[in-house]
Amino acid sequence: MANQLNAGFTGKPADKPEGIRKAAANTASAVKREVQAVATGAVDHPHTASSVIVGIGVLAFSVGYLLGRQSVAPSRFWR
């Protein structure tokens, strides 16, 4: 038989997390659930998911283009 080695921490902490640790654990758990829900939806509806991604990309490009055009000083002459 192998000798049991009781070195190191191999269990769960005796004290439950409080304060910021509890909030961080709850937030991480919620994010994992939401990511899994989005991934499941994307697997079930691949065409809708790709259309949404392309639509968001087009919208982001348009907003960036318009903001970039507004930041350039107007010119009176064509070059």
DSSP secondary structure letter of residue 8: S
Mean local confidence (pLDDT), 6-14: 65
Mean local confidence (pLDDT), 41-62: 95
Query: CA 63 to CA 70: how far, in whole Å?
Result: 11
pLDDT per position as a tens digit, 54-73: 999 999 999 999 998 887 77
Q: Is residue 47 part of a domain?
A: yes
Query: CA 79 to CA 76: how far, in whole Å?
Result: 10
* Res 21: pLDDT: 86
* Res 16: pLDDT: 72
With 0-12 / 13-18 / 19 or more C-beta atoms within 10 angstroms meaning exposed / middle / buried, residue 69 is exposed
Number of domains, the chain: 1
- 25: Cβ contacts below 8 Å, ≥ 6 apart: 17
Boundaries of domain holding 47: 36-71
Q: Is residue 42 part of a domain?
A: yes
